[in-house]
Amino acid sequence: MKWGYQTNTWGGVVGHPAGVTSVKDLYYLANGSTEEAVKDIAAAGYEGIELFDGNLMQYEERLGELRRLLDDHGLSLIGVYTGANFIYGDILEDEFAKIDKVARTAAAAGAEHLVFGGGAIRAGGIRDEDYAALAEALDRAAEVAARHGLTPSYHPHLGSLVEKPDQLDRLMKLTGIPLCPDTAHIEAGGGDPLAVIRTYSSRIPYVHFKDYGSGAFLPLGEGGQDFAAMLAALRENGYSGWVTVELDSHDNPLQGAAVSRQYINGQLANKA
């Protein structure tokens, strides 16, 4: 397996302000320097990065510069993370206009994966039909990714329709999109990440590792997650792809990345 790191620790997780009034411009964004993130991630010993769609689109007209930046630091572009509400018919075409643009740009930049988050929770609460709408939209999103040569997957997330274990199981029965488990989001939503990996191992082309403890997202080894058992479960099904470490925020992003890399080297290197 190969180890990557998400750049969102550099600047934290925000959204593009244009999306407030224009759905087609509603991107995730790490509000920091991608160049600094790439330098630090390489220094910490990782092999690739994942970007938010908004940070990718900052390079839309200068993809050669992004490719050179990655090449200069010996990193691959593993994938791009995007998302949408997915359940509101009136804005769906604008959401897919964005998704298609992101997929096209990600493919041109050399990415392998396109990861989708989302499934909005209405102000009035979740409706039963929202899961069918989300599933239909995710199947369409998977087709867009595949058309551009990218591997699609869905990332369960707090604050979406898919927080809890029963919600994930419900969605997975309705859609054919592969799963990108985020181990900390699964635990924070009341689930068991190891059980999720075992249940859906045949549908996992990509995975996010993040530790969790005392209600907080943490570098690997600082929480209570059993990553060695998760790697064993992935290997039992022949998994040999990327594992991306993600950490939404840290006072010192380079230090956070280094702590997780030291844990990988000391506890997981012979298991991956």
Give the CATH number, domain containing residue 94.
3.20.20.150
Number of domains in the chain: 1
**% of the chain beyond a pLDDT of 90:** 98
Domain of residue 36 covers 2-268
Read off the pLDDT of residues 94-135 as tens digits, 9 standing for 90 and up.
999 999 999 999 999 999 999 999 999 999 999 999 999 999
* Whole-number pLDDT of residue 66: 98
Residue 62 has pLDDT above 90, yes or no: yes
* Whole-number pLDDT of residue 270: 77
Give one word for 27, left, alpha or beta, with left for phi > 0 and alpha for psi -120 to 50. beta
Read off the pLDDT of residues 20-61 as tens digits, 9 standing for 90 and up.
999 999 999 999 999 999 999 999 999 999 999 999 999 999
Average per-residue pLDDT for the chain: 97
DSSP string, 166-230: HHHHHHHHH----B--BHHHHHHTT--HHHHHHHTGGG-S-EEE-EEETTEEE-TTSSS--HHHH
Poorest-pLDDT segment among 65-69, 140-144, 145-149, 267-271: 267-271
Give the relative orientation of helices 34-43 and 253-263 as an angle to the nearest 10 degrees: 30
Residue 272 has pLDDT above 80, yes or no: no
166 Cβ neighbours under 8 A, 6+ residues apart: none
Cα 8 vs. chain centroid, distance in angstroms?
Answer: 10
Q: Identify residue 6 by its one-letter amino acid code.
A: Q
The mean pLDDT value for 180-188 works out to: 98
* Whole-number pLDDT of residue 271: 72
Read off the pLDDT of residues 80-94 as tens digits, 9 standing for 90 and up.
999 999 999 999 999
Read off the pLDDT of residues 215-241 as tens digits, 9 standing for 90 and up.
999 999 999 999 999 999 999 999 999
* Whole-number pLDDT of residue 102: 98
> Binning pLDDT at 50, 70 and 90, where does residue 242 land?
very high
> Binning pLDDT at 50, 70 and 90, where does residue 78 land?
very high
* Whole-number pLDDT of residue 124: 98
3-class SS at 49?
strand
3-class SS at 108?
helix
> Binning pLDDT at 50, 70 and 90, where does residue 172 land?
very high
